[in-house]
Chains A and B, each alone.
Chain A
């Protein structure tokens, strides 16, 4: 279909909508620039047609029968989505704390990291935290499940002691099933003795 013919069909549809006394529906989808530069996309499907948005400010308008691609601007995004963007929650933050061998005692370095967890929490008005404990590959499953759980619980207790509500902190132990650094069974590896924290 030629561009001119496409435009005349659009004009005819707009006229038909105007004659019918109803404004055509307007839907718009705009891809935003990525914070970390990953290449990503939104696929817009309408009827049998498909438009792929994979560049910053690539946009689709769905006023008529088919999706229309166009390039949006930062100004358009601000004008239409100011309130929605202002209500966007803080992004999740991730922390890893390490432990001494066969212990729920944090390493000296990780005591500093724990302080930065507390600092992050202060920036958020409504918090929920997931604490997942892990071990290295020394010892059996039951032993490591117990140790991983103790590590997670010790961090949860520390967070509750700093004023977080019990309902806002979930602690889970995964034992030695998810080694950060893959090793053979029975190998002591300090980086695997850890608790991973997600702050939302």
Chain B
């Protein structure tokens, strides 16, 4: 009975955590020049402070650059003429378990990985048009022109 009530309260806490963060997976911290977000067929302005959701595609124009902090504390920043798709993001803030898949379809990107990649070597994957990058907890840059 005791362990059952503990298990139940853990379930409640986990769901509360998810609810507390809502659908937000990250936030635009830095936005310069033209930055937009494609979400469910609509184009939104990518101003600093904007919260991001799963499947968002972040785009920068000729004069644009953007810096994003995800809820696992990973940092993604893109230079001009970039297209970055946040294809899939699941993060359990209690256990650091989850999955992060993003694609740099075009442009330049700097990455500092966060808790997901630290917790599991297979948790974070970045795709480019021709390759797949497995991220083992690190800092790197990618360009696809």
Chain B, residues 101-135, CB within 8 Å of chain A (1/0): the string is: 00000001110111000000000000011111111
State whether A88 and B67 are in contact (beta carbons under 8 Å apart), knowing that A35-B139, A83-B79 are contacts in the complex: yes
> In the complex, how many angstroms separate the beta carbon of A175 from the nearest chain B beta carbon?
8
When distances are taken between beta carbons in the complex, the residues of chain A under 8 Å from B6 are 141
Q: Are B110 and A88 in contact (CB under 8 A)?
A: yes
- Does B11 belong to the interface (CB within 8 Å)? no
When distances are taken between beta carbons in the complex, the residues of chain A under 8 Å from B36 are none
Q: Which positions 67-117 of chain A face chain B at CB distance < 8 Å? A: 67, 77, 80-92
When distances are taken between beta carbons in the complex, the residues of chain A under 8 Å from B82 are 84
When distances are taken between beta carbons in the complex, the residues of chain B under 8 Å from A85 are 77, 110, 141
When distances are taken between beta carbons in the complex, the residues of chain B under 8 Å from A35 are 139
- Does A10 belong to the interface (CB within 8 Å)? no
Q: Which of A84, A92, A126, A145 contacts B109 (CB under 8 A)? A: A84
How big is chain B's contact interface, by range?
35 or more
When distances are taken between beta carbons in the complex, the residues of chain A under 8 Å from B29 are 89-90, 124-126, 200
Q: Which of B13, B16, B17, B138 contacts A42 (CB under 8 A)? A: B138
> In the complex, how many angstroms separate the beta carbon of B46 from the nearest chain A beta carbon?
11
How big is chain A's contact interface, by range?
35 or more
- Does A138 belong to the interface (CB within 8 Å)? no
State whether A172 and B20 are in contact (beta carbons under 8 Å apart), knowing that A27-B131, A40-B137, A88-B112 are contacts in the complex: yes
- Which of chain A's residues has its CB closest to B33's CB? A83
Q: Are A80 and B131 in contact (CB under 8 A)?
A: no
> In the complex, how many angstroms separate the beta carbon of A29 from the nearest chain B beta carbon?
5
Q: Which of A25, A40, A92, A177 contacts B136 (CB under 8 A)? A: A40
Q: Are A88 and B49 in contact (CB under 8 A)?
A: no
- Which of chain B's residues has its CB closest to A67's CB? B131
- Does B23 belong to the interface (CB within 8 Å)? no
- Does A46 belong to the interface (CB within 8 Å)? yes
Assembly CA distance A30 to B144 (angstroms): 12
Residue in B20, B82, B108 with the greatest tally of chain A CB atoms within 10 Å: B108
Residue in A33, A77, A80 with the greatest tally of chain B CB atoms within 10 Å: A80
Q: Which of A38, A62, A86, A130 contacts B93 (CB under 8 A)? A: A130
- Does B68 belong to the interface (CB within 8 Å)? yes
Q: Are A87 and B130 in contact (CB under 8 A)?
A: no
Q: Are B110 and A62 in contact (CB under 8 A)?
A: no
- Does A26 belong to the interface (CB within 8 Å)? yes
Assembly CA distance A26 to B108 (angstroms): 12
State whether A26 and B130 are in contact (beta carbons under 8 Å apart), knowing that A87-B32, A89-B75 are contacts in the complex: no
When distances are taken between beta carbons in the complex, the residues of chain B under 8 Å from A67 are 131
> In the complex, how many angstroms separate the beta carbon of B127 from the nearest chain A beta carbon?
10
State whether A31 and B131 are in contact (beta carbons under 8 Å apart), knowing that A81-B110, A89-B29, A170-B20 are contacts in the complex: no
Q: Are B77 and A62 in contact (CB under 8 A)?
A: no
When distances are taken between beta carbons in the complex, the residues of chain B under 8 Å from A80 are 108, 141, 143
Q: List residues of B whose CB falls within 8 A of some A CB.
A: 5-6, 9-10, 13, 16-17, 20-21, 27-30, 32, 48-49, 65-69, 73, 75, 77-80, 82, 93-94, 108-110, 112-114, 128-145
